């Protein structure tokens, strides 16, 4: 009975996808007003940026949890089940509670849809409202809130956080956010609130200039995470934190961190990819800023929290012989970082690529970044309206790839075909979107558990 009600609730949420992406705050503000503005009872760390938002949030949450705090985490999209979107100390929202909250929200959403005014709510807006209700019920010490798209007009931008974070900025969602780094930076900088500290790991000079300008306008203190090598790693650098990469292991990597008042050596994080070190440093710098609001973090808890971080779908290795790797790179910058990271962590003879990309992404640049590494290609399409169709992807791939190319609409079947193409010394990489990774991961784990569907363990 509960499973049926849960499935119906999730199906209703997914049906709201027909309204697409709808930037703007009027609709969610109208809904939250009718719900009693649950978001106002909570404290937040608000994280935006082009890449690394989820990893940064996961590391910060893990350290705070190890420090004894109850931490809410809101991220998107989900990789395993819808309930992954909102959790407290790693425990997803229970199915029964999600059903209760949907029963409360659904009549109001349908009411607003019928009324003149801001119009029908998008799926992301409704899920964000559900998350605010869930967290308001449970009252965690802090909610780590990941921006969905952009920042200024994102549904999460109805809160005033303790600290705001912009991880980095690159060209993405250009049809919605603008076609220059400066335009996108201004949209991302929309999360900056008057007087609230802003921490950024952005490196592009034009993006930094925009962020600094908005901080001045809103009298928001600006703090930076510097790229490695830009400045010596020294304790107490004014308004800046720095990090230095250390040794790489098959399980992860080491680094040192120099913050605003703290310095730690030989920290270990189990997330692969050198770009994750910037995310780790950003998480640690945000925790230093949160300390000023009473969130004390000791070194032992910090080390344990980083070591325990689990964030699937980011250079995740799911099997050996052949290697199966999944990574949610979803824009050109992410794809370039993925291509650079592969040889650091994996050894293989040939690479079979499973690729599904959203139509609103710069898929030509993404393909140009990753296809030189591929020996065979399987194109696929996750079950989301925004996904690029196979013929479009095939035409784009054909301009820069001469190897074997297959097309398969079903992501699970695409993965099976890729594993069939791969020998024991080869690797299969699933990437292009977290939606693609989510479907491939679910298909693989279900097949491995039942020893069916061509996914031997």
How high is the pLDDT of residue 364?
A: 94
Closest CA to 74 of 64, 84, 65: 84
How high is the pLDDT of residue 181?
A: 86
Classify the C-alpha dihedral 27-357-315-233 as positive or negative: negative
Phi-psi category of residue 391: left, alpha or beta, with phi > 0 → left and psi -120 to 50 → alpha: alpha
| pLDDT tens per residue, range 21-63 | 667 899 999 999 999 999 999 999 999 998 899 999 999 999 9
- Token pair of 434, please? 């977290």
DSSP code, position 147 = -
> How many H-runs (helices) and E-runs (strands) does the chain carry?
15, 17
Rounded CA separation 191/180 (Å): 19
CATH numeric code, 2-308: 3.40.1190.10
Rounded CA separation 89/64 (Å): 9
Name the burial class of residue 19, with classes exposed (0-12), middle (13-18) and buried (19+) by CB atoms within 10 angstroms of its CB: middle
13 pLDDT more than 70 = yes
- C-alpha distance from residue 412 to each of 76, 82, 85, 315 (Å): 21, 18, 22, 19
434 pLDDT more than 60 = yes
457 pLDDT more than 50 = no
* Neighbouring residues of 287: CB distance < 8 A, sequence distance ≥ 6: 60, 63, 64, 295, 297, 302
Place of tokens 């949890």: 65
Task: Parse the chain into domains and list their residue ranges.
Answer: 2-308, 316-450
Q: Which residues pair with 352 in a beta bridge?
A: 376, 428
What values do phi and psi take at 409, rounded to 5?
-60, -45
How high is the pLDDT of residue 228?
A: 82
How high is the pLDDT of residue 229?
A: 66
Q: What is the mean pLDDT of the chain?
A: 91
Place of tokens 């059903």: 99
Contact 356, 380 (CB under 8 A): yes
What values do phi and psi take at 47, rounded to 5?
-120, 120
Contact 152, 186 (CB under 8 A): yes
The stretch 316-344 carries a mean pLDDT of 92
Lowest mean pLDDT among 99-108, 291-300, 324-333: 324-333
Name the burial class of residue 44, with classes exposed (0-12), middle (13-18) and buried (19+) by CB atoms within 10 angstroms of its CB: buried
- Name the CATH topology of 316-450: 3.90.190
* Neighbouring residues of 234: CB distance < 8 A, sequence distance ≥ 6: 242, 258
Element (H, E) at 48: strand 44-48
| pLDDT tens per residue, range 198-214 | 999 999 999 999 999 99
| pLDDT tens per residue, range 388-401 | 999 999 999 999 89
């Amino acid at each position: 009975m509960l499973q049926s009600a849960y499935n119906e609730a999730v199906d209703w949420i997914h049906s709201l996808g027909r309204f697409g992406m709808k930037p703007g705050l009027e609709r969610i503000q109208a809904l939250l007003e009718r719900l009693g503005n649950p978001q106002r009872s909570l404290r937040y760390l608000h994280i935006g940026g082009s890449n690394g938002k989820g990893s940064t949030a996961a590391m910060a949450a893990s350290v705070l949890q190890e420090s004894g705090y109850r931490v809410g985490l809101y991220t998107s999209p989900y990789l395993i089940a819808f309930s992954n979107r909102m959790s407290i100390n790693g425990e997803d929202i229970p199915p029964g509670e999600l059903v209760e909250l949907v029963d409360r929200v659904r009549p109001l959403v349908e009411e607003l849809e019928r009324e003149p005014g801001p119009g029908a709510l998008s799926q992301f807006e409704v899920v964000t409202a559900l998350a605010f209700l869930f967290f308001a019920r449970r009252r965690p010490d802090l909610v780590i809130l990941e921006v969905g798209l952009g920042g200024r007009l994102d549904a999460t931008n109805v809160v005033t956080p303790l600290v705001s974070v912009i991880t980095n900025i690159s060209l993405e969602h250009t049809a919605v956010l603008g076609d220059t780094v400066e335009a996108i930076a201004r949209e991302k900088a929309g999360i900056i609130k008057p007087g609230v500290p802003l921490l950024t790991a952005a490196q592009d000079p034009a993006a930094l200039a925009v962020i600094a300008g908005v901080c001045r306008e809103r009298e928001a203190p600006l703090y930076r995470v510097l790229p490695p090598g830009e400045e010596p790693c020294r304790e107490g650098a004014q308004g800046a934190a720095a990090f230095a990469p250390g040794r790489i292991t098959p399980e992860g990597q080491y680094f040192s961190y120099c913050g605003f008042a703290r310095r730690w050596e030989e920290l270990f994080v189990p997330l692969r990819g050198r770009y994750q070190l910037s995310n780790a440093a950003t998480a640690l710098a945000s925790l230093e800023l949160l300390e000023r609001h009473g969130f004390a973090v000791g070194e032992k808890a910090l080390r344990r929290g980083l070591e325990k971080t689990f964030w699937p779908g980011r250079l995740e290795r799911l099997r050996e012989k052949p290697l199966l790797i999944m990574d949610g790179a979803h824009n050109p910058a992410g794809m370039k970082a993925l291509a650079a990271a592969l040889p650091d962590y994996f050894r293989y003879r040939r690479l079979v690529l499973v690729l599904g990309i959203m139509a609103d992404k710069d898929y030509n640049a993404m393909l140009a970044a990753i296809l030189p590494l591929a020996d065979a290609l399987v194109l696929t399409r996750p079950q989301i309206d925004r996904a690029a169709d196979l013929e479009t992807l095939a035409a784009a791939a054909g301009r820069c790839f001469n190897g074997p190319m297959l097309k398969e609409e079903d992501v699970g079947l695409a993965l099976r075909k890729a594993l069939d193409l791969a020998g024991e010394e080869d690797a299969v990489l699933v990437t292009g979107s977290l939606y693609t990774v989510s479907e491939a991961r679910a298909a693989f784990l279900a097949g491995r558990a039942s020893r069916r569907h061509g996914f031997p363990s």
